[in-house]
Structure 1
Amino acid sequence: MITFLKRFLIGRPLKSTALGEQKLNKKKALAILSSDALSSVAYGPEQMLIVLGTISAAAFWYSIPIAMGVLVLLTALILSYRQIIFAYPQGGGAYVVSKENLGTYPGLIAGGSLLVDYILTVAVSVSSGADAITSAFPSLLEHKVIIAVVFVILITILNLRGVTESASIMAYPVYLFVLALIILIGTGLYNILMGNVPAELHAPLGTPIAGISLFLLLRAFSSGSSALTGVEAISNAIPNFKSPAASNAAKTLVAMGTILAFMFSGIVVLAYYYGISHRAEVTAVSQIAEQIFGRNAIYYFIQGTTALVLILAANTGYSAFPLLAVNLAKDKFIPRMFTMRGDRLGYSNGIIILGVLSIVLIYIFGGDTEQLIPLYAIGVFIPFTLSQTGMMVKWLREKPTGWIQRFVINTVGALISFIVTMVFFLTKFTQVWPVLIFLPLLLLLFHRIHKHYEAVADQLRITSCEPGMRIEGNVIILPVAGITNVVLNSLDYARSLSPQQIIAVYVPFEREDELAFEEKWKKFQPNVRLVTLYTPYRSILQPLTKFINTVQWKAAESNHKVTVIIPQFIPKKGWQNILHNQSSLLLRAHLLFRKDVIVTTVPYRLKK
């Protein structure tokens, strides 16, 4: 049943030779890897309005120069990550750049931040999509968390089916969203140029505003910069591109930056001219669309594609998170399981972990996008700063042809990214403080995992292993719970290993049971030694462990190994296991960590 359900949801397994078929062309890559960045125009401009609205609606004109500053940062990031793509075509983005140029720990800070950021990408994108749905249908507001969780599950399943299949499905909504925004921005700008927008809806540019400060403007700038999250995803996912991967990735990055710049600036201009303000229950894009078109078919087309692309923007995280996890796992900083490909050739462990952690975040924050976005943005601007600083070090060290221009580009990007990061910490500390606790804990976890892998490698390496003890014989300990076919089956196996040194061990809880069992055993197997370990405390593990210790100590004197054979019967139906005590499993789990004791399970399969 489970296998059938898995095949129905995920599809049949693919051969490893089909890996090349799972690569993306530029059109599909633009949809699947840019959806996060492109969809952020649905909430990035609104974040600026939230900050400026704390002064007055008249302060909204500052969104225009602030947006110009965001576009400067976007340009610097696009040019910088284009350089990263060609310098590090193997992928890895900020993690690889920071590790190679700034050192291991800066690299881990970048990598850890991005892992968390991609989890937040899914949570923020799906929560924002749920916001767009509830804006159009307010009656669904109380079910927002459930809606978000269901969409995460669906996207997780879709990604488990493979990169190409998910890209084919998700390409259409992304391009429909771009078309919807072009229609919205084009119509809105036409109305503005034709004088159809009342001037009283907005304060004139340059209007003096009491209470405005540089600190507040920087805060609005950092909030608006949340629209740039996802820009780095393409540099992390270069291995997903068809050959020539680096060239195709660079072209896709430039195309994404161009579209993002147009849509971001267009939404900011429309929000200013139409006097849009922040409303908790209705998004800014929804307000703009309603003012321009009313609640007609075009409005619902815009809201529908916006909701869909915001939800599918989570797919950027599903594309980049597993590949980043592979790089970290190869460097032994996270579990090796992240390097394993699933039935459909995707890194399914990374996909599943990402989905589960995203659902946890959505549940904890109640799907509140405004609470998630600061953490989301800080998680990406730390790697922005580190990666561009790393590229500065690379150009200074290598000094290739034209390095000064590249160095300037990275310096500008690094400075602006650093300023945005600091402003986030200063202005939204109450929302982003968990980063200061979580990142050090994540680095400690990376360190402990790496230390474990290094210790394992050192001990497994033949040249450094301790010389093995010469084994002269084998002492078999066979725990028994009765006289059954299960015990007989295990005894036959024990005799094949060491017919002369088998010790059956029985642990009774009552003296009467002890005497009765000894009599039965003499008739059943008179040639096999039986040891009974009476215990009034109803514990099998403690007396059995003490006995094994005694035998192991004596066996070591004569270079003998101790093997504990655990009989276990297997029910015909898997669910029937819950009807039986799993004492064999507990015993095996307890003994597996014992030094110089070999544990063997001998199964006896029931037929009915």
Structure 2
Amino acid sequence: MRLTLVKRLLVGAPMPLAQARHERLGKAAALAVFASDPLSSVAYATEEILLVLILAGSAALSYSLPVALGIAALLAVVVVSYRQTVAAYPQGGGAYLVAKDNLGIYPALAAAAALLVDYVLTVSVSVVAGIAALTSAVPQLHPYRVVLSVLAVAGIALGNLRGVRESARMFAAPTYFFVVSILAMVGYGLVGAMFGLLPEAPYEPHPPGLEGLGLFLLLRSYAAGCTALTGVEAISNGVQALKPPEGRNAQIVMTWLGVISITMFLGITYLAFDFGIVPGGDETVVSKIARRVFGTGVPYYGVQAATLLILVLAANTSYADFPRLSSILSRDRFVPRQFANQGDRLVFSNGILILSGFAVLLILVFQGDTHALLPLYAIGVFISFTLSQSGMVRRWLSLREKGWRWRVWVNGVGAVVTFLVLLTLSFTKFVEGAWIVVVVIPLLVGAFVVMHRHYEEVAGDLSLEGFAGPPQFRHTVLVLIGDVHRGVVRAVQYAKTLAPEATVRAVYVETDPANTPRIEEKW
């Protein structure tokens, strides 16, 4: 009883199933719930590009603009591709359903496994990165970073257990606060740089290059910056969470996401180039830009606070999609059926709890170290990108609907480029920890196949196909008696009701031969 009261206090009262449609999200709320991860990626995508280019010296930083333009073009292609995906698959499912329908079950399971792994990593990396920003500002909290990270995961999980609309209300404000803060910084920075309104930039030492600027280094910087694309597929997996018409609303939200992400990403990268920002040290690139634009006043700390919040809450995208993808896999009998069950608040509670458990496990194993977790990140999402877009190419080639050539070209280019990025990420980060993801994904696919075979065997055993019905049995019911009295009569009558066609026998065990004739006479 006490546990029930605690659950009601934390999670809320149960909702009737008829309330499910009212728990759907509008477009603005959906952007906050599903786009917090890809929007937050711009906080560190530019820095990842610069950290690779600086290896060739400060002069190589000028290549950040063409690299960023290439990433923005890829992001646009992926957004257009997923707009086509949600139009073709308004029931949701994203890369899993696309691959299942067009490439076969094993590519579909690989896409699903890659996404599930990436969702767990998104929670771990986002929360740890956000707590790292906090401990950088308050160094006294650094020894408690693991505890703080675990508490952050618990808080986000609790918000999602309370329901879809509850989590949207909780996470919408920080998401839009971040978008407004970054766009204000970019806008004021561009105007200030154009009209000379910004203060003189402090001198930053430019380190010498450690290696030459070649094609491989440019590919590495491009692959590193492609973290800006993580989470873009989230909307396609959660289409059914939107209000009707689901497919059309998902397309609109996808467009908003693409425009906002590209604008912020290119704006940050251009300002970093224009201001001569050198990555490294204890201060992030976004912090250096904000300090140059706003000084050290309230707007600067507003940008920092918005960045901290969005990094922590970026994990919410995984909480929106991991449970939904798990429920789809459950309905297809590839994971336990409990993942398809909705909890009291009409959310997939089991998926939320499992996601939280694995995220906390990673945080504990890697001791809340962002740099240890990052090499594992983004590989899974590029596997799903490649399979999803390859599946859409196959679909257009099969259907040959109006405009199919253009669609094949868009998805084909996207599939090739995301595959090249995947190869680059796997090669450059393999020894740093990416091998763990490369090993885990096939193991997950194997586990899916084993569970599916089990469910198929059980279904076969229970099937009525070819079943002739059970043979007729005649049962014998034994009633043990020590005498003959009213109780025995009632016992015999009850025995007859157990099986009307059965033969009822009274069994008397002789212990006194002199008493047996009396028992027989009374019977």
If the length of structure 1 is used for normalisation, what is the TM-score?
0.75
Distance 2:172 2:419 in 1: 34
Deviates more, 1:343-352 or 1:278-287: 278-287
Q: Is the 8 A contact 1:97 1:107 kept in 2?
A: yes
Amino acid in the other structure paired with 1:184: M
- Superposition RMSD on alpha carbons, in Å? 2.6
Relative distance call for 1:143 and 1:60 in structure 2 (3 A) is farther
In the TM superposition, residue 214 of structure 1 has moved relative to its aligned partner by: 0.5
Q: Is the 8 A contact 1:25 1:242 kept in 2?
A: yes
Distance 1:202 1:191 in 2: 24
Deviates more, 1:290-299 or 1:155-164: 290-299
Distance 1:375 1:275 in 2: 30
Write out per-residue CA displacement over residues 578-608 of structure 1, whole angstroms, 9 at most, x where no aligned residue: xxxxxxxxxxxxxxxxxxxxxxxxxxxxxxx
Relative distance call for 1:381 and 1:285 in structure 2 (3 A) is same
Distance 2:101 2:262 in 1: 31
Aligned to 2:483: none
In the TM superposition, residue 285 of structure 1 has moved relative to its aligned partner by: 1.7
Q: Is the 8 A contact 2:123 2:153 kept in 1?
A: yes
Amino acid in the other structure paired with 1:137: V
In the TM superposition, residue 275 of structure 1 has moved relative to its aligned partner by: 3.2
Map of 1:523-602 to 2, 5 A cutoff? Answer: none
In the TM superposition, residue 142 of structure 1 has moved relative to its aligned partner by: 2.6
Relative distance call for 1:248 and 1:47 in structure 2 (3 A) is same
Deviates more, 1:314-323 or 1:122-131: 122-131
Q: Is the 8 A contact 1:122 1:152 kept in 2?
A: yes
Q: Is the 8 A contact 2:99 2:111 kept in 1?
A: yes
Aligned to 2:515: none
Distance 1:347 1:312 in 2: 19
Q: Is the 8 A contact 2:58 2:209 kept in 1?
A: no
Amino acid in the other structure paired with 2:216: F
Aligned to 1:20: 21
Aligned to 1:440: 442
In the TM superposition, residue 284 of structure 1 has moved relative to its aligned partner by: 2.2
Aligned to 1:348: 349
Distance 1:27 1:380 in 2: 24
Q: Is the 8 A contact 2:81 2:410 kept in 1?
A: yes
In the TM superposition, residue 387 of structure 1 has moved relative to its aligned partner by: 0.4
Aligned to 2:175: 174
Larger RCO of the pair (alpha carbons < 8 Å, separation 6+): 2
Q: Secondary structure at the match of 1:462?
A: coil
Aligned to 2:414: 413
Q: Are 1:42 and 2:67 matched, yes or no?
A: no
Q: Are 1:325 and 2:336 matched, yes or no?
A: no
2:475 to 472, 478, 485: 472
In the TM superposition, residue 133 of structure 1 has moved relative to its aligned partner by: 1.5
In the TM superposition, residue 25 of structure 1 has moved relative to its aligned partner by: 0.3
Distance 2:44 2:87 in 1: 31
Aligned to 2:307: 306
In the TM superposition, residue 370 of structure 1 has moved relative to its aligned partner by: 3.0
Distance 2:476 2:423 in 1: 68
Distance 2:231 2:133 in 1: 20
In the TM superposition, residue 447 of structure 1 has moved relative to its aligned partner by: 0.6
Aligned to 2:270: 269
Aligned to 2:11: 10
In the TM superposition, residue 360 of structure 1 has moved relative to its aligned partner by: 0.9
In the TM superposition, residue 135 of structure 1 has moved relative to its aligned partner by: 2.9
In the TM superposition, residue 220 of structure 1 has moved relative to its aligned partner by: 0.7
Q: Secondary structure at the match of 1:428?
A: helix
In the TM superposition, residue 169 of structure 1 has moved relative to its aligned partner by: 1.7
Q: Is the 8 A contact 2:118 2:381 kept in 1?
A: yes
Distance 2:474 2:389 in 1: 59
Deviates more, 1:187-196 or 1:261-270: 187-196
Distance 2:287 2:69 in 1: 23
In the TM superposition, residue 117 of structure 1 has moved relative to its aligned partner by: 0.9
In the TM superposition, residue 474 of structure 1 has moved relative to its aligned partner by: 7.3
Relative distance call for 1:210 and 1:113 in structure 2 (3 A) is closer
If the length of structure 2 is used for normalisation, what is the TM-score?
0.87
Distance 1:139 1:282 in 2: 17
Distance 2:311 2:293 in 1: 22
Q: Are 1:51 and 2:52 matched, yes or no?
A: yes
Distance 2:418 2:221 in 1: 14
Q: Is the 8 A contact 1:202 1:272 kept in 2?
A: no
In the TM superposition, residue 386 of structure 1 has moved relative to its aligned partner by: 0.5
Q: Is the 8 A contact 2:55 2:211 kept in 1?
A: no
In the TM superposition, residue 199 of structure 1 has moved relative to its aligned partner by: 10
Distance 1:138 1:194 in 2: 38
Provide the identity percentage. 45
Aligned to 2:91: 90
Aligned to 1:507: none
Relative distance call for 1:187 and 1:138 in structure 2 (3 A) is farther
Write out per-residue CA displacement over residues 209-256 of structure 1, whole angstroms, 9 at most, x where no aligned residue: 971111111011001001110100001100000011101010000001
Write out per-residue CA displacement over residues 370-402 of structure 1, whole angstroms, 9 at most, x where no aligned residue: 332332210100000000000000011110000
Aligned to 1:285: 286
Q: Secondary structure at the match of 2:260?
A: helix
Deviates more, 1:286-295 or 1:252-261: 286-295
Relative distance call for 1:272 and 1:474 in structure 2 (3 A) is farther
Distance 2:336 2:70 in 1: 41
Aligned to 1:219: 220
Amino acid in the other structure paired with 2:398: R
In the TM superposition, residue 168 of structure 1 has moved relative to its aligned partner by: 1.3
In the TM superposition, residue 62 of structure 1 has moved relative to its aligned partner by: 1.5
More helix by percentage: 2
Q: Is the 8 A contact 1:459 1:465 kept in 2?
A: no
Distance 1:500 1:32 in 2: 70
Write out per-residue CA displacement over residues 253-275 of structure 1, whole angstroms, 9 at most, x where no aligned residue: 00010000011111112222333
Aligned to 1:30: 31
Aligned to 1:403: 404
Distance 1:355 1:105 in 2: 27
Relative distance call for 1:265 and 1:460 in structure 2 (3 A) is same
Distance 2:394 2:225 in 1: 29
Q: Is the 8 A contact 2:36 2:314 kept in 1?
A: yes
Amino acid in the other structure paired with 1:440: P
Q: Is the 8 A contact 1:121 1:314 kept in 2?
A: yes
Amino acid in the other structure paired with 2:454: H
Distance 1:173 1:336 in 2: 35
Amino acid in the other structure paired with 2:30: A
The answer for unaligned runs of 5 or more in structure 2 is 480-493, 512-523
Q: Is the 8 A contact 1:152 1:355 kept in 2?
A: yes
Amino acid in the other structure paired with 1:48: I
Q: Secondary structure at the match of 1:392?
A: helix
Q: Secondary structure at the match of 2:232?
A: coil
Distance 1:123 1:501 in 2: 70
1:461 to 450, 460, 463: 463
2:451 to 445, 449, 465: 449
The answer for unaligned runs of 5 or more in structure 1 is 477-492, 503-521, 523-608
Amino acid in the other structure paired with 2:117: V
Aligned to 1:374: 375
